[in-house]
Every structure is written in structure tokens, then in C-alpha cells.
Amino acid sequence: MSTAVTLINVFTAKPGKQQDLAEVLAEGTRNFFSKQPGSLASSVVVGGDGSKVVNISQWRSAEDIAAFRGDPRFAEYMKTIMEHGTGESVMGHTSYSHTGGVED
């Protein structure tokens, strides 16, 4: 089992806002989250249904996630997200992964 923490945020965009939401998430990752201590990796996935956008990120620890969520910039960022849709988070450890023929 990995010691890194995976944070999965599943968003439902308001009608016609899926691409805007994906761009806000990518920009937030590029300019804020990726520069935070403990940030390891992040992906933004746009669903084929026209409404879902998923942000998957790996962090060194749950404490690193709590620290960035405590940053005053995070509250402002979340206001922007909520203008485009709603979401929920799941945080946990990877118990199994498969990458190009290699199992972890």
C-alpha cells in the first residue's frame, strides 16, 4: 500500500460550464496546488457526459492537504469553483494500482 494520500474531487458542473470548470481546476493546480509542500501529482479528467469533472491528486500526507486547505487563497478558489458547479471529496490511500504491466 502506498503511503501517499490520494484526494479525489468529483464535480458536477452547472449546465454549459463543464469546460470552464475544467479550466478553473487546471489553472488552480498549475498556479497554486502544484506549488504547495507535499504536492506529488494531479490530473483533471473531463467526463464524457457533459457535466462531470474529476480532479485527482496525490499528496505526501493528509497534513499537507489540511495545510493547503487552510491557506486563505483556498477559500477564494473554492468560491470560483462553486460558481461553476458543486462537488464532493474522497481522501484515502491507494491499496492497488496497475500501470503499464506493473502492479503495486
The answer to whether residue 98 sits within a structural domain is no
Residue range 9-68, pLDDT digits in tens: 999 999 999 999 999 999 999 999 899 999 999 999 999 999 999 999 999 999 999 999
Quote the pTM value: 0.87
What pLDDT does 100 receive?
82
How many domains, the chain?
A: 1
Confidence of residue 101 (pLDDT cuts 50, 70, 90): low
Q: What does the block give as the cell for 101?
A: 504491466
**Average pLDDT over every residue of 70-74:** 91
The answer to whether residue 101 sits within a structural domain is no
CA end-to-end distance (rounded Å), the chain: 8
How far apart are alpha carbons 40 and 48 in whole angstroms? Answer: 26
CB atoms within 10 A of CB 46: 18
Please determine, for residue 1, whether its predicted confidence score (pLDDT) is greater than 90.
Answer: no
The answer to whether residue 29 sits within a structural domain is yes
What pLDDT does 12 receive?
98
Q: Report the CATH number that the domain containing residue 39 is assigned in CATH.
A: 3.30.70.100
What pLDDT does 75 receive?
92
Coil, strand, or helix at residue 9?
strand
The answer to whether residue 43 sits within a structural domain is yes
How far apart are alpha carbons 69 and 18 in whole angstroms? Answer: 23
Please give the angle made by the CA atoms of 41, 46 and 52, to the nearest 5 degrees. 115
